[in-house]
Amino acid sequence: MKVLVLGGDGFCGWPCAVNLADAGHDVVVVDNLSRRKIDIDLEVESLTPITSISERLRAWEQVGGKAMRFVHLDIAHEYDRLLELLRSERPDSVVHFAEQRAAPYSMKSSATKRYTVDNNVNGTHNLLAAIVESGLDVHIVHLGTMGVYGYGSHRGATIPEGYLTVEVPQADGSRFTEKILHPTDPGSVYHMTKTLDQLLFFYYNKNDAIRVTDLHQGIVWGTNTALTDRDPRLTNRFDYDGDYGTVLNRFLMQAAIGYPLTVHGTGGQTRAFIHIRDSVRCVQLALENPPTSGEKVKIFNQMTESHQVGQLAQKVADLTGAEIRYQANPRKEAIENDLIVDNRCFIELGLKPTTLDDGLLAEVVDVARRWADRCDRSRIPCLSAWTTRQAEALRTHA
Ligand SMILES: NC(=O)c1ccc[n+]([C@@H]2O[C@H](COP(=O)([O-])OP(=O)(O)OC[C@H]3O[C@@H](n4cnc5c(N)ncnc54)[C@H](O)[C@@H]3O)[C@@H](O)[C@H]2O)c1
């Protein structure tokens, strides 16, 4: 299968591209390297030393991997080049990772809010419009987020895979049932762009019969896969800073350097998680099981387990002896939430999840401790506040 991997230089995209090439697919990596530029602006680097994209691709071939090509392209702003790329490559599928993906970064300033909306919504829309204009039948696999469902109370209900069955009362007292897109409840500008993506897919699927699989992914933890472990030049990135670091990887790195684990608020927030190895496997499963022509958007909940943030910190503390420090919460969010998730689709397709209990210790020892001396402690605190009220709380509790 010919596959374009948009955002294929990123944390989820790079191991995914390598995995697809290893499975024999013809892979073209497309990226504008904006994530690397944001690191320069934020004056922070991945905890793991990552090589340039050309070095990565060279190393991959040198270890015997099937060659991949790279196209430097901004999908949000270079529409004509994107269309030309589709016409010349005629891909069977496009995996779309190419978005600004950090909620804290999206809330940092009006400039980063506007950048996130412009980049993410235009990028997704450009891809859909270009596929229609190309006349090709391309399957899009998009990386969305579990955050589209919201982290408020679901009153104990299980979150279905994208669609909710509702009963609609009629004036005459009768009722009919209908499957609708699950209502969205974004918790940041970043999450809002993902809910807008979802609507764009719904519309283009209805109007132009574009085939889409939208993966509502949980927070990804871990760093490498067996393939990116083959050579140090293939190493994946590990973000630990206050804007891009995700909660579990931050705890692991903090434990490795003897920094108290930073729990925001009460720690009662519940989130869904998935290991990078499983994320990569899910994308391959989604690609190899596409929707049929005329089928509505397929939505999978791409997560394997849910945990409360405070309990997660306790787990890491028990494993490593780290101290836990509760801090003011930079986010405007529910103090506590429930999150019961249906993830049957991937399990039925054969996913065998890597659980926290299997993988945590290896991650602390192999990655976080190994690169601990590359950590800049001044970049650990989360300083991007959701509103002026949260900003004030951060200042008073600093
Ligand atoms: N990392 C997670 O925990 C997580 C969780 C849920 C969903 N996701 C989703 O998965 C996708 C990938 O996330 P990630 O963690 O790999 O992020 P990342 O920032 O590491 O990777 C995104 C890649 O896309 C590229 N990119 C961004 N805008 C682009 C544009 N306009 N044109 C071309 N390339 C562009 C960046 O340079 C980067 O290499 C995102 O859409 C994200 O929302 C990630």
Q: Mapped to the 3 state alphabet, what secondary structure does the chain carry?
A: CEEEEECCCCCCHHHHHHHHHHCCCEEEEEECCHHHHHHHHHCCCCCCCCCCHHHHHHHHHHCCCCCCEEEECCCCCCHHHHHHHHHHHCCCEEEECCCCCCHHHHCCCHHHHHHHHHHHHHHHHHHHHHHHHHCCCCEEEEEEEHHHHCCCCCCCCEECCCEEEEEEECCCCCEEEEEEECCCCCCCHHHHHHHHHHHHHHHHHHHHCCEEEEEEECEEECCCCCCHHHCHHHCCCCCCCCCCCCHHHHHHHHHHHCCCEEEECCCECEEEEEEHHHHHHHHHHHHHCCCCCCCCCEEEEECCEEEEHHHHHHHHHHHHCCCEEEECCCCCCCCECCCEECCHHHHHCCCCCCCHHHHHHHHHHHHHHCCHHHCCHHHCCCCCCCCHHHHHHHHHCC
223 in contact with ligand 1, CB cutoff 6 A: no
Please check the confidence at residue 81 and state whether its pLDDT lies above 90: yes
Please give the average per-residue pLDDT across 84-109, as a whole number: 98
How large is the average pLDDT for residues 65-75?
98
Total residue count of the chain as it appears in this document = 398
pTM above 0.85, yes or no: yes
Task: Tell the residue nearest (CA) to atom 43 of ligand 1.
Answer: 101
Of 5, 14, 19, 35, the residue with max ligand 1 atoms within 8 A of its CB, to mutate for a pocket test, comes to 35
* 284 CA distance to ligand 1 middle (Å): 17
Say yes or no: CB of residue 147 within 6 Å of ligand 1.
Answer: no
Average pLDDT over residues 39-62: 97
Check pLDDT > 80 for residue 48: yes
Does 270 have pLDDT greater than 90? Answer: yes
**Which residue is closest in CA terms to ligand 1's atom 18?**
10
Q: Is 219 in the pocket of ligand 1 (CB under 6 A)?
A: yes
Answer with the residue of higher pLDDT: 357 or 63. 63
* 190 given a catalytic annotation: yes
Check if 194 is active-site.
Answer: yes
pLDDT class of 280 with cuts at 50, 70, 90: very high
In short, whether 94's Cβ falls inside 6 Å of ligand 1 is no
User: Pick the catalytic residue: 48, 194, 298, 354?
Assistant: 194
To the query of whether residue 244 is one of the catalytic residues in this protein, the response is no
pLDDT tens figures, 214-237: 999 999 999 999 999 999 999 999
pLDDT in the model for residue 357? 86
Select the more confidently predicted residue: 356 or 101.
101
Cα(55) to ligand 1 centroid in Å equals: 20
Cα(15) to centroid of ligand 1, in Å?
Answer: 12
Residue 364 clears pLDDT 90, i.e. is over it: no
Percent over 70 (pLDDT), the chain? 100
398 pLDDT exceeds 80? no
pLDDT value at 85 more than 90: yes
Provide the pLDDT confidence category of residue 182 given band limits of 50, 70 and 90.
very high
Interval between CA 219 and ligand 1 midpoint (Å):
12
Check pocket membership of 97 for ligand 1, CB cut-off 6 A: yes
Tell whether ligand 1 has an atom less than 6 A from the beta carbon of residue 46.
no
Residue 155: the pLDDT is 85
Is any atom of ligand 1 closer than 6 Å to the C-beta of 303? Answer: no
- Pocket test residue of 51, 82, 97 for ligand 1, highest count of atoms within 8 A of CB: 97
The stretch 193-212 carries a mean pLDDT of: 98
> At what angle are helices 110-134 and 79-89 packed, to 10 degrees?
40
Residues 6+ apart with CB under 8 A from 193: 99, 100, 106, 116, 117, 120, 121
pLDDT score of 361 more than 90: no
